Structure 1
Amino acid sequence: MTGNLYRGQAGLPFSSALRVYEPLMAFPEEQRPALQAAGARAVSRAAVENAELQASLGRITRPGGDPFPTGRTDLVRVLPAPDSSTPLAGTATGRTAEETDGGGQGEVAAPDLLYCPSQLVLRAGLAANALMEGIHGPLAQLLIPEEQRDKHQERIDLVKARGGVTKVHTRASTWGIPFSWFSLFQESDPRDVVESGGRIVTVRVWAKIEDALERVRYAVANLALAAPDLDMLDDMTQLTEWLELFDPHSVVELDYGAVADKVYPDDSPMDVRLGIECLAEGDMTGAAAAYRRLASRWIPIRQLARAS
């Protein structure tokens, strides 16, 4: 199963994710049985990633022109709570894909678990809306026919009515990681380096949400004073507002995805932190140096999106 996952990523756009895992009691009561069932099954993280990739590839080739998820099933990622007797998942580095495909997570007692539902129906709707904002006329109809968008809106309405959904637990980015995401993490945070066939498949970094919020609020406060016109300030402000929606006992995960093989070991969290500290101290030379390090690392990745 892991082989399908890692071979299947070849040739696809680099995709990274920022996820929030919440305790069971933070979810609407009607969602909890399904989440508990997912936590009780000894399903590895690699199996979840493989299932999501296979489903997405299947939608691309689905007959009838409907590219949207149906919502019949929703995958759930699970982490042990950091204050439980079990360490935060992945604190050991350098694991292989085969090791991540072992059971593991399902062996943790349910009360000590944190959950991140994929919410593919909602996220697909948001992504389609964002795409359509910049595309109109025949091209929009060609990419996503109006009848398919209307059909998917019915699914979204059904999901919201059934689950009382008010927040989306996952943010995704293709061809690189937004610099604002790195403000949530530090070099000392637990991380997991997953390898397969001599290359890095992904790197995952975790932080308690209270720590992540403290860091991004510090960044917002200093940027607002030192560089109020910086685009990153708006990104960090939106990120703060999003994280404030979640339970204070949650955990934030940065999942590099396949781009990790191009950039890891990665000093981006340190460069963002140092850049903001330099701005706060009026050290423009230090801030510029930190940005140059970020740009030299990530601009080549983003340029791949336009490569033929």
Structure 2
Amino acid sequence: MLDVTAVRTSVLPPYAAHLRVYEPLAAYPEPERSHWQAYAAERGPDAASAGEPVARAALEAQRGALAELLPFASRAVPAGAAPHRPGAGEQAFVRELDAVTYVCPWATRLRSWQALEELSESLPVALLDAVLPQAVRRDALLAQERWRADHPDARPWILTSRWEVPVRWFLPFGAEDRRYRPAEPGQGAQPGVPAALFYLTPMAQARKRVARGYRVLRERLAGSPLTLGAEQVGRWLEEFHPRSLVELDYGGLVHAIGEPELAADRSAAELAEGLAALREGDVERAGRAYQLVAERWRRVLALRQAN
């Protein structure tokens, strides 16, 4: 059975992983560029090196989201600016690397619409109505349709997956992109720092790996879920500036997975090994590598049903 990481904090982030793209400031047109430049200058970076996670900023974002729920009636998406045009209150994760500032906007309303679609597909109608009344959902979907009509090419900078990291998300990364930081115990009244596990790589390298993986999957496993998933990831990455950064963050999943398992997790390397074997025609070795990754995440996903 997986161990549970103890975290000394009053709020835990959801058991979700995130695939993020950080675009350089130069990628944003005005007035977005000026907005994010001022935002980054005022707050400073959430991570000032490639080895530093944005976990603390992500936890603060979760605390803020929970606090906003308290004084309001049920609503499907937060009020605010259009998803692609930042206004007051719009926020982002900021990374600084080699003296370049990179920004990953939260695009909260756009991601809330997407989460609402997923929620509608995953919950029984009676439970869904209890969480979000039908009238609230209808208003949110009408607002989304109006906005989508004017922004048909809109895409979020952040993809979220609850209770697992989809295997296709490891395609953009290599073993050298892995960053693991063990948990740090608290001292006195100060809470401890939870473990963090994430991957970070330049966009050019991410696209190259996904394209190479997709080619071998299409040749050997055409029509398989992993092949279709590789195509989806590749299309999403193509939407962003070529000098962006791509990050896979285990996020709140570190609180569901024990530290020994986190320290031993080499999912990206195992998937890369499987693709290399598949490229060489060694189907048996490729299958073993894939099973290692898939089975690891099936065990984590099974925790969703645990009492």
Normalised TM-score (structure 1): 0.79
Find out whether 1:195 has 2:183 as its counterpart.
Answer: yes
- Residue in 2 aligned with 1:184? 172
Superposition pairs of residues 246-257 of structure 1, within 5 angstroms: 246-257=240-251
Find out whether 1:144 has 2:132 as its counterpart.
Answer: yes
> Which of the residues 82, 96, 106 maps onto 1:80?
96
- Residue in 2 aligned with 1:109? none
Unaligned runs of 5+ in 1: 87-111
Identity of aligned residues (%): 26
Q: In 2, Cα distance between the equivalents of 1:294 and 1:28?
A: 40
Instruction: Note the alpha carbon deviations across 1:10-30, whole angstroms, 9 max, x for none.
Output: 4x6411101001112322312
Instruction: Note the alpha carbon deviations across 1:5-51, whole angstroms, 9 max, x for none.
Output: 962454x6411101001112322312222211221024444553233
Q: What's the secondary structure of 1:37's corresponding residue?
A: helix
- Residue in 1 aligned with 2:200? 206
Q: Which moved more, 1:71-80 or 1:172-181?
A: 71-80
* Compared CA separation, residues 283 and 165, structure 1 to 2 (3 A): closer
Superposition pairs of residues 287-306 of structure 1, within 5 angstroms: 287-306=286-305
Instruction: Note the alpha carbon deviations across 1:77-113, whole angstroms, 9 max, x for none.
Output: 11124xx3x4xxxxxxxxxxxxxxxxxxxxxxxxx21
Contact 1:125 1:153 in 2 (8 A): yes
* Compared CA separation, residues 274 and 252, structure 1 to 2 (3 A): same
Contact 1:183 1:273 in 2 (8 A): yes
Find out whether 1:273 has 2:272 as its counterpart.
Answer: yes
Find out whether 1:231 has 2:217 as its counterpart.
Answer: no
* Compared CA separation, residues 46 and 67, structure 1 to 2 (3 A): same
Q: In 1, Cα distance between the equivalents of 2:69 and 2:59?
A: 16
Q: Which moved more, 1:291-300 or 1:203-212?
A: 291-300
- Residue in 2 aligned with 1:92? none
Contact 1:184 1:215 in 2 (8 A): yes
For residue 142 of structure 1, report the CA deviation from its aligned partner. 2.6
- Residue in 2 aligned with 1:216? 210
Q: Which moved more, 1:162-171 or 1:245-254?
A: 162-171
Corresponding letter in the other structure for 1:170: I
Contact 1:159 1:165 in 2 (8 A): no
* Compared CA separation, residues 174 and 287, structure 1 to 2 (3 A): same
- Residue in 2 aligned with 1:118? 106
For residue 68 of structure 1, report the CA deviation from its aligned partner. 2.6
Q: What's the secondary structure of 1:220's corresponding residue?
A: helix
For residue 289 of structure 1, report the CA deviation from its aligned partner. 1.4
Q: What's the secondary structure of 2:156's corresponding residue?
A: coil
- Residue in 2 aligned with 1:264? 262
> Which of the residues 61, 67, 85 maps onto 1:52?
61
* Compared CA separation, residues 47 and 161, structure 1 to 2 (3 A): farther
- Residue in 2 aligned with 1:242? 236
Unaligned runs of 5+ in 2: 1-6, 47-53, 81-87, 186-191
RMSD: 2.9
Find out whether 1:168 has 2:156 as its counterpart.
Answer: yes
For residue 276 of structure 1, report the CA deviation from its aligned partner. 1.2
Q: How many residues align?
A: 275
> Which of the residues 123, 128, 131 maps onto 2:119?
131
For residue 237 of structure 1, report the CA deviation from its aligned partner. 0.5
Contact 1:6 1:201 in 2 (8 A): no
